[in-house]
A and B are shown apart, each in its own frame.
Chain A
Amino acid sequence: MHVIVDSSPGTSPGPELVQLLTPEGERVEHPEYSIELSPQEYRGLYRDLVLVRRVDAEAVALQRQGELGIWASLLGQEAAQVGAGRAMGPNDYAFPTYREHGVAWCRDVDPLNLLGLFRGVNHGGWDPNEHNFHLYTIVIGAQTLHAVGYAMGMQRDGSGAAVLAFFGDGATSQGDVNEAFNFAGVYNAPVVFFCQNNQWAISEPLERQTRAPLYRRASGFGFPGVRVDGNDVLACLAVTREALDYAREGNGPILIEAFTYRMGAHTTSDDPSRYRLQSELEAWKLKDPIERYKRFLIKNSLADSDFFAEVDAESERLARHMRDGCRALPDPEPLSLFDHVYAEGHPLVDEERAQFAAYLSADVDATAERGEG
């Protein structure tokens, strides 16, 4: 027996990568994972991918037009998110970062509701329990612990469901994430850790976050880790399905590293030309998750031009829904500042609300007096 010391995080994926679809759209077999879907389900995944990319593009455009303060684009990560999102059962629960617009889509969150946070009209515009989809978490890694705790609750309730915890490659450096791995391992919690390794944490490449491949970290915590081609929606679906089954069956946590690429800027405030080469992006464009899936559908006669036209038309309708809906999102009332701070209320909040209301109406009176109203 010899010891293998791996001192590179594996910026090229390596043979361990689970892939069911090559970048050319060729269906390939894998010894452990396979997937068989109905033609309709195959088409459904394509529809998801295209619509999710459209949601994202529309949000970027809305930001450019000044309708949103900022947007975190998922461009390039559609397959990872749709694959993972569609693997979930109705009773499973997801804990997202701020970039999981594709998972939100799969959990039936109206894309319009994603915009509130980025427009600055709320801190998260949906009821998590209505969708089994928690609020976006901006503080890197924090949600992974919530995910484990939630899974521990499910375990106690005998719910037979599992949790899917999303985070990025950068997040794996945080204490919280490593604590989440450990808690999940110790308590055998039914949680699937889904790391989208998009190669970048703002300007920092993977090498600044880890010396060993991310999926391997799981073994140190005593549970399995698997690396999947994050631009292959079929592989992401197959691997996540199996991982959720594994967790639901009481085997404890499992880590999935979806090997993918952030094709856009970190957010609309970011300028990636300052830190990465255009050639890297060009190389990844050849592995585009949607292009390869479309080729697969066509090659296997799973979809015809009518279908593609219908998806395009739907995409247009969705974009209009977002544009019109976003512009119509009202600014909150000033006094709503004080809403929901406590479940049971707080006298100081009440006092300040009353003072601020008086201040605001005095202001209106003063303005009226000066004849400026």
Chain B
Amino acid sequence: MPTQITLAKGLNMGLRKAMENDPKVLIMGEDVGKLGGVFRVTDGLQKDFGEDRVLDTPLAESGIVGTAIGLALRGYRPVVEIQFDGFVYPAFDQIVSQLAKMHMRSLGHVKLPVTIRIPYGGGIGAVEHHSESPEAYFAHTAGLKVVSCSNPVDAYWMIQQSIACDDPVIFFEPKRRYWDKAELDESATPHPLFAARVVRPGGDVTLVAYGPMVKVCLDAAAAAEEENRSLEVIDLRSLSPLDVDAVCRSVERTGRLVVVHEAPVFLGMGAEIAARVTERCFYSLEAPVLRVGGFHTPYPPSRLEEDYLPDLDRVLDAVDRSLAY
């Protein structure tokens, strides 16, 4: 029976399902137990599964990820919460030098089914280090899989699929969408974790986004329709692996591509997508691939974030520029 849930609730339900289905699933992080996380994503889980399965850890991100690796080596499936995007860096060594490489170093003898949940992105009026989009660092690292949900239904399925995955998964949660609502039908068949999805079909320009920017692109497409422009919106869902096929299928029809993300444009996901699409669909392109994203500046004080963050107008401006070629 479909129920109306928020994105945070979708994650919470997905985590609960994963814990019910597999006694090896553990949750670890700062304030995830009694408080249920600062965004309440793990609300009620410690109460129902106990302190052995939902661990309020010491305040040490490297410690959290490092011990999660050890637990994974011992056959557990830790789901780690990093409280905010800007606090993942103390764990960077454990993630990129240890977690990402261990399967290969062991010649495949050990598996590292660790899921690292990171609330990310801006738009909530927070102080510094609470609004960043560090996904490119992780997508750049071989050995990690990187995904981001954009809506409550995907949140519910994707967190379960990530936990079930035998590779380490960095799971980015668009924090400003935690309170967005949608209908969840738990009896539906989930979309494959690493596949992109066309969330709005269209014929004139392809918009590619993920996480928090999917909604911005959908809004832009709705606004463009009033001007008789038909925009196709693709939700990437997975950043590594990257579903280039899905993007190319669309670009071969539209001939135009705009990639949108909050993260800085320079060496971001858009750069990779632009390069691959140019290689694969050069003769279909009517315009260069354009990117809309953050600037080469630290994330600004919150009173400037509306200027900094890509919004509907900046997306449509890029659409105009693409169509002007």
Contact = CB atoms under 8 A, between A and B. Distances in A.
Interface of A: 69-70, 98, 116-123, 138-140, 170-171, 173-176, 201-204, 208-210, 269-270, 274-275, 331-332, 334, 336-338, 341, 346, 348-349, 352, 356, 359, 363
Interface of B: 30-31, 33-36, 38, 56-60, 62-63, 86-87, 89-90, 125-129, 266, 295-298, 300-305, 307-308, 313-314, 317
A171 B307 CA distance: 34
B307 to A, nearest CB: 4
B99 to A, nearest CB: 16
Contact of B303 (A119, A171, A201, A202): A119
B298 to A, nearest CB: 7
A106 to B, nearest CB: 23
B62 A138 contact: no
Contacts of B63: 173, 175
B43 to A, nearest CB: 10
Nearest to B295: A352
Closest 10 CB pairs of A and B: A120-B302, A173-B58, A203-B35, A170-B59, A334-B307, A120-B303, A173-B60, A173-B59, A203-B31, A275-B34
A210 B58 CA distance: 8
Given A70-B126, A275-B34, A204 B302 contact: no
B155 to A, nearest CB: 22
Given A175-B63, A202-B38, A341-B298, 11 more contacts: A123-B301, A138-B129, A173-B60, A203-B34, A208-B57, A209-B58, A209-B59, A269-B38, A337-B300, A348-B296, A363-B313
B212 to A, nearest CB: 18
A216 to B, nearest CB: 17
B62 to A, nearest CB: 5
Given A202-B31, A346-B296, A176 B90 contact: yes
B86 A139 contact: yes
A208 B64 CA distance: 13
Contacts of B300: 332, 337
Contacts of A274: 34-36
Nearest to B266: A348
B295 A338 contact: yes
B90 A341 contact: no
A125 B159 CA distance: 40
Contact of B128 (A117, A119, A209): A117
A116 to B, nearest CB: 8
B297 A138 contact: no
Contacts of B60: 173-175
Nearest to B36: A274
B129 A140 contact: no
Contacts of A170: 58-59
Contacts of A122: 301
A90 B33 CA distance: 44
B96 to A, nearest CB: 16
A204 B295 contact: no
Given A275-B34, A356-B295, A332 B301 contact: yes
B86 A118 contact: no
B59 A204 contact: yes
Nearest to B129: A138
